[in-house]
Chain A
Amino acid sequence: MEITDFSQPIRQSIKGIIVIFAFNVVTFVKKFFVLFIAFGVSILRSKTIGNVTPTMMILALIGVLISLLFIAILKYLNFKFYISNEDFHLATGIINKDNTIIPKSKIQNVYIKQNFLQQIINVVSVKIETAGDKKSEIEISALDKPTALLLKKKLFSKTAIVTGETEQLEAIEEPEVFFKVTPKRLLLEGLSQNHFKSFLLIFTFAFGLYSEFKDFLQELELEQHVEGLVELDEATILNLIITNVIIVIGVVLISFLFSIVKTFIINFNLEVVEHQKTIEINKGLFNKVSLSLTPSRIQNLVITTNRVKQYFGLHTLAVKQAMVNVKQQKNFNIVALEKEQLNYLVNKLVSNYNEDQGEMAKPRPYYMRILSLEMLLLGSFINGFALAIFGIEMLWVNAIFIPLAALYVCFAYKKAYYRISENFVTIGSGVIETTTNILEIHKIQSVKLKQTIFQKPRDIASIVISTASKSVTIPYASKSEATIIYNFLLYKVESQERDWM
């Protein structure tokens, strides 16, 4: 396909049929997964189901595949898009015709993605996101790379002029790769992750699989095997302990591996490219993603690190935009940044941000009381649980729990602070991780002053600040201070004629 001008309605590249078809097959398999399992089990049991033979089933499967292919071709034929002066137009639908029109100025993101299949057949998909509904995103699933890049450029070209840029975009200096992750740093990043999260993920996955395959496993009589193994070990206590230790070590190792592999797959070849006004992030192994960040579209910045990561000098910068769904949100994370690089990027994304602007203030000590109360609740829950299941001797669990709870309260209070400057709100929080939330005051959508009936006599109140991407809380300040902040934020938002996007 030669380079187009996009003013005439065009279709995707012909390879799009393959991509759509593959996508259809995957969704079909996902939908009828349980059915397949059931079929598989019954075939194992007896060679037929009622009077349906395997041949008939295979024929049925082929029929389904052919109809899916047919649908894919129709979808491809009925998918046309073009750009008229200010809007992006898209016509889709086989039977129900849909016409989508998006004004360029409302486009928030244009991603260029490449999954494994697309990498093989050498096409990219272009995703166009607006800040509207979570559903209102458009995906053009197959374009060759030059076309995609040109489309992206065209979609962004007007927005630059709107912001007072009258020069041609062509006159931009060569973009430079500002940051490229090294495998070593990526490995460290993977190692220093919160492995508990990985463990939970694996656990839920395994559990889900188990319940999915329960019948199947019973079929294979695995349970008897497992029980047999356990019975053998119950002969001696020592053996049991050793087995358990081995299991624990195994689980920990698997969690570690999982974290590292996940980090590698998602952030493979992560690079941050600097353009004049925007920052481009490229990353991914099986799913290559390329996305541009425009400062005006950014609502919040979240910086996370933890003790171990700090030692290695690793920081993660998460960029939050309006109404981006959770799955995409992960793509906006830049991992393994050095402190200087991080500061540079933050400055690029929110202009004139200075860490030491404004006075740093801490929540009232009342916050510690609330935290202790939370821990007390958790503690009583754990104790009740231990008593009910293991009896009285399980109370020694408190010997571990109480110091941990004390540490939790200590750290949570130590890391909590907030800072209100002329144009920014910075809020620190975290227990194991250290999290810093940064938002520009003119991006605020609403402010809320919260006070419970118990806090009223103590003159304590919290402030919840909402932007288009998330809400952050300034916890438990004194009422007078909270009111001052509240008034100040509102004054800033209402007196400036600055738009939030």
Chain B
Amino acid sequence: MTFTNPQIQVEDLPNIEDVALKPISKSYLKIIALNSLALYSLVLGGVFGLKYLIKEDGYQANFWYVFLGVLIICIINFIISILAFKKRKYAVRGFDVIYAKGLIVHSVTTVPISRIQHVEESRSWLARHFGLSTLKIYTAGEAGSDLSIKGLPHLEAKGINDFISSQVNGNN
């Protein structure tokens, strides 16, 4: 075997920006909405509950301002979650898995398949209802380097899971 050591042209390397990232399933938006609404109703319920607990005049007089403030925060949060949903995208290449997310702080994380320790497909009760799954990818790195791709169509998640598993086991 002759050993060659060609020079690497940085421009010729596979480029992350050329990858067509796939958006996650539209149904997941419903799950986000349901989860958020449940959370907000809890918070607003709590604010209401405080109205009956705290008997001080200050709180009673300004109750509606407090309520309105919390409501506005909830609405802003909701809008951001909805907008951020569009940013959730993923791709699987021959050698790595890519996941992009975040509206305010956008991040694109790539995990090489050779570094994956194991994959897990988990489905919450709600997700099963919509035929979705969450794919969890664990590396040996810190917690920050683990990926969890939410809202994948069940079949696709299973497909990716099988593909990665076979790759990972093939390496050993």
Report A's interface with B, CB cutoff 8 A. Answer: 131, 322-323, 444-453, 456, 464, 466-471, 483-484, 486-488, 490-491, 493-494, 497, 500-501
Task: Determine the distance from Cα of A322 to Cα of B115 in the docked complex, in whole angstroms.
Answer: 13
> Is B1 part of the contact surface with A, judged by Cβ < 8 Å?
no
Closest to A132 in B: B140
Within 8 A of A (CB), among B92-130: 95-96, 103-115
Within 8 A of A (CB), among B119-172: 139-142, 144-145, 147
Query: Are B106 and A453 in contact (CB-based, < 8 A)?
Result: yes
Binary A-proximity of B24-42 (CB < 8 A = 1, otherwise 0): 0000000000000000000
Query: Are A445 and B108 in contact (CB-based, < 8 A)?
Result: no
- Collect the chain A residues with CB atoms within 8 Å of residue B144's CB: 448, 464, 466, 471
- Collect the chain B residues with CB atoms within 8 Å of residue A470's CB: 142
Query: Are B139 and A446 in contact (CB-based, < 8 A)?
Result: yes
A450, A456, A487, A500: the one within 8 Å of B107 (CB): A450
Query: Are A444 and B14 in contact (CB-based, < 8 A)?
Result: no
B10, B107, B114, B140: the one within 8 Å of A322 (CB): B140
Query: Are B104 and A453 in contact (CB-based, < 8 A)?
Result: yes
Q: Given A450-B107, A470-B142, are A484 and B112 neighbors across the interface (CB < 8 Å)?
A: no
> Is B16 part of the contact surface with A, judged by Cβ < 8 Å?
yes
Task: Determine the distance from Cα of A448 to Cα of B147 in the docked complex, in whole angstroms.
Answer: 11
Query: Are A468 and B141 in contact (CB-based, < 8 A)?
Result: yes
Query: Are A483 and B115 in contact (CB-based, < 8 A)?
Result: no
Q: Given A490-B112, A491-B14, A494-B112, are A450 and B106 neighbors across the interface (CB < 8 Å)?
A: yes
Query: Are B105 and A447 in contact (CB-based, < 8 A)?
Result: no
- Known contacts A468-B141, A487-B16, A488-B10; 13 additional CB pairs below 8 A are A444-B112, A444-B115, A446-B147, A448-B110, A466-B139, A468-B142, A471-B142, A483-B15, A486-B110, A488-B13, A490-B112, A493-B115, A494-B95
Query: Are B106 and A468 in contact (CB-based, < 8 A)?
Result: no
Task: Determine the distance from Cα of A131 to Cα of B144 in the docked complex, in whole angstroms.
Answer: 17
B10, B103, B106, B115: the one within 8 Å of A445 (CB): B115
Query: Are B106 and A451 in contact (CB-based, < 8 A)?
Result: yes
Task: Determine the distance from Cα of A446 to Cα of B16 in the docked complex, in whole angstroms.
Answer: 14
Output the least CB separation between B85 and chain A (Å): 15
- Collect the chain B residues with CB atoms within 8 Å of residue A501's CB: 140
B14, B106, B145: the one within 8 Å of A466 (CB): B145
Query: Are A451 and B140 in contact (CB-based, < 8 A)?
Result: no
Q: Given A451-B106, A494-B95, are A487 and B14 neighbors across the interface (CB < 8 Å)?
A: yes
- Collect the chain A residues with CB atoms within 8 Å of residue B111's CB: 445-446
Closest to A489 in B: B110
Query: Are B14 and A500 in contact (CB-based, < 8 A)?
Result: no
> Is B17 part of the contact surface with A, judged by Cβ < 8 Å?
yes
Query: Are A445 and B114 in contact (CB-based, < 8 A)?
Result: no
Output the least CB separation between A299 and chain B (Å): 9
Query: Are B140 and A447 in contact (CB-based, < 8 A)?
Result: no
Query: Are A471 and B140 in contact (CB-based, < 8 A)?
Result: no
Task: Determine the distance from Cα of A491 to Cα of B8 in the docked complex, in whole angstroms.
Answer: 10
Query: Are A449 and B141 in contact (CB-based, < 8 A)?
Result: no
A469, A491, A500: the one within 8 Å of B13 (CB): A491
- Collect the chain A residues with CB atoms within 8 Å of residue B105's CB: 450-453
Q: Given A468-B141, A471-B145, A487-B15, are A500 and B104 neighbors across the interface (CB < 8 Å)?
A: no
- Collect the chain B residues with CB atoms within 8 Å of residue A464's CB: 144
A447, A453, A488, A500: the one within 8 Å of B110 (CB): A447
Task: Determine the distance from Cα of A470 to Cα of B105 in the docked complex, in whole angstroms.
Answer: 21
Task: Determine the distance from Cα of A470 to Cα of B142 in the docked complex, in whole angstroms.
Answer: 6
